Amino acid sequence: MKYDPSIVRARYASPLGAMVVAATPRGVAGIWFEGQKHMPDHSAWPEQPGHPVLLQAIAQLDEYFKGVRGTFELPLDLQGGTPFQQSVWQALLSIPRGGTTSYGQLGQRIGRPAAMRAVGAAVGRNPLSVVVPCHRVLGANGSLTGYAGGLERKAALLQLEGAR
């Protein structure tokens, strides 16, 4: 993934563990649980906890975890992904709170029904945990499968949303 050189970050203490929230001038570019798979090296990104987009993202994450926010209203910067990844991430945004889908159904939504593995890889590289709801994607049989932030967090997020 490529990130805008002007990216900045802040830390957020979520109920499910520490998170890093990153933004560019275009919007929120990343939200990761500390230590999750595919988390980029963010050590060179300046910490700017007072950055307005980061403050907005953290406030909305707080509301989400308290159960008072169902959807996020944030400017997003998904330009770090390939066009295919971006199409998968956009499709994830259409899964409603409390809803789930499978990798195969997600592939159908983007017009690539045979690309389940590629869809799964793109879901796994989603840079915006929670906000772009990759946790709402389940295995074909409804099982909890793959989540870069850990299956325990995936189960907790789905429970918070009333999906499982």
Residues 6 or more apart whose Cβ sits within 8 Å of residue 92 = 106, 123, 126, 132, 133, 134, 136, 137
**3-state class (DSSP) for residue 14:** strand
Which of the 8 DSSP states describes residue 132? S
The question of whether 26 is a catalytic residue gets the answer no
**Active-site residue, selected from the candidate residues 8, 53, 76, 134:** 134
In angstroms, the CA 21 to CA 33 distance is 9
Catalytic residues: 134
